[in-house]
Amino acid sequence: MPVRRSRHLCSVAAALALTVAAPATAATASEDSSAALREVMFVGNNWDGTADVIESTGDFARIGRIDVIPDKAQRLAEINADPIRWIYFQAIRNSVGEGHDQFVDDMYSTPDGGSVVVSRPSFADVVSIDLATGRLNWRFPVSGYRSDHMAVSPDGTRVAVSASTSNTVHVLDIESGKQLGSFRTGDKPHENIFTADGRYIWNMSIGEVNTALDAPWLDWTKGDRRITVVDATTYEQVKVIDMRQRLDAIGLGDRSDAVRPAVFSPDESKLYFQVSFFNGFFEYDIATDRITRTKTLPKNPATSEDRTTWVNDSRHHGISMSPDGAKLCVAGTMDDYATVVNRTTLQEGPLVTAAKPYWATVSGDGRHCVVSESGADQVTAIDFATGEKTVSVAVGDHPQRVRLGHVAADWTGPAVG
């Protein structure tokens, strides 16, 4: 059933279209403390239960490593004592985890650079870890049995985390871990994005991605997939966008409507997003509420056409944009490449070989796209200007999310002992 565009919702779209974007990928240090902080990138090594901290520009050299599961023994004891939690723990390992536990999905540093906040899917929680000592500051168990993608507010004070088995997003105070609010979503909430002014949160639900019912005609079995837009102060729903209707309107009824990673244009008038099973992305115009362009990217001839072999219904998973809005960077996950795309022409550049790239973000200076190669345990920087690879840096087992953040200027890792 189409969603009515009330006068209020139209004003929301207009406000989003007029907003000038500011980077929202890292907690911003206060002016007083900025001189004592160092900008870095956090790389979450999902199967390791670690996060590598690397330089945010230049050679992207590794600075230090954090153990994000210092309480592993305690958490496992709790899970083993609860039959229902144990079943979900095993299910996560053998489905979305590809036979591995999922110990780190997403992470953001606090504004003062003193802690990092991490979502841990297999432990169904969010924790804050002191970067000086490696100890937990606080722990927030999410509703249900799995935590997923997060987003940080532009001022760095709040984190929104998807609780994927309860169709809920929790919004937490980043310093205390206390819940400030929550809201309901479609089935299996995934990506979260704050608008640049901090007024709205966009959540993308992806539905069921762990069944073998992957044929296009069985798409209806995947559940209620939609974008939920809420007021970031009241957490009240202000808009729902069903991409099924928008895809059908342009004759793409065979495409999945499960919105995966997404990125706004700098003025937030456009949203670029990936969907399940598709080697490419879409451009969505917020003011007119319609899909305006489709970009199909090359297939790797070596990639199986058996959709049940694609990890968690992904074909391409990871998209970012250069700060000037001129270039997009796309992780072609199952096709084993990443590429820079001209946003005006939608022409892709060189296909940079990458082993199951799982995420794409932007370097601190805005000059590079940084992708996580989960199949090669490294991150790779690609020059936005040339589309060519500049450097790869070894990290831990199965890197996924890569986020900009801050640490103390002299930080090299938590104290030992």
The pLDDT tens digits of the residues spanning 405-415 come to 999 999 999 98
pLDDT in tens, 67-120: 999 999 999 999 999 999 999 999 999 888 888 999 999 999 999 999 999 999
C-alpha closest to that of 320 among 307, 331, 329: 329
First-residue to last-residue Cα distance in the chain:
59
Domain presence at residue 237: yes
Look at residue 415 and tell me if it is in a domain.
no
Distances (CA, A) of 196 to 52, 82, 140, 173, 282: 27, 41, 26, 18, 21
Q: Is residue 417 part of a domain?
A: no
Is residue 73 within 8 A of residue 49, CB to CB? The reply is no
Query: What's the total number of domains in the chain?
Result: 1
pLDDT band at 356 (very low <50, low <70, confident <90, very high): very high
**pLDDT value for 19:** 37
% of the chain with per-residue pLDDT over 90 = 85
Specify if 416 maps to a domain: no
The verdict on residue 286 lying in a domain is: yes
Q: Are 172 and 158 in contact (CB under 8 A)?
A: yes
Q: What is the CATH number of the domain that holds 353?
A: 2.130.10.10
- Taking the model in full, what pTM does it have? 0.89
Q: Partners of 141 in the beta sheet? A: 125
Q: How far apart are CA 348 and CA 329, in angstroms?
A: 9
Q: Determine how β-strand 115-120 pairs with β-strand 106-109.
A: antiparallel
State the pLDDT confidence band at 9, using cuts at 50, 70 and 90: very low
Tens of pLDDT, residue by residue over 306-353, are 999 998 889 999 999 999 999 999 999 999 999 999 999 999 999 999
**What confidence score (pLDDT) does residue 94 get?**
87
Domain that holds residue 212: 7-408
Q: How much is the pLDDT for 214?
A: 86
Residue 2, in any domain of the structure:
no
Q: Cα dist. 47→39, 105, 147 in Å?
A: 25, 10, 15
Residue 99 lies in a domain: yes
Q: What is the mean pLDDT of residues 219-234?
A: 95
| Residue 414 belongs to some domain of the structure | no
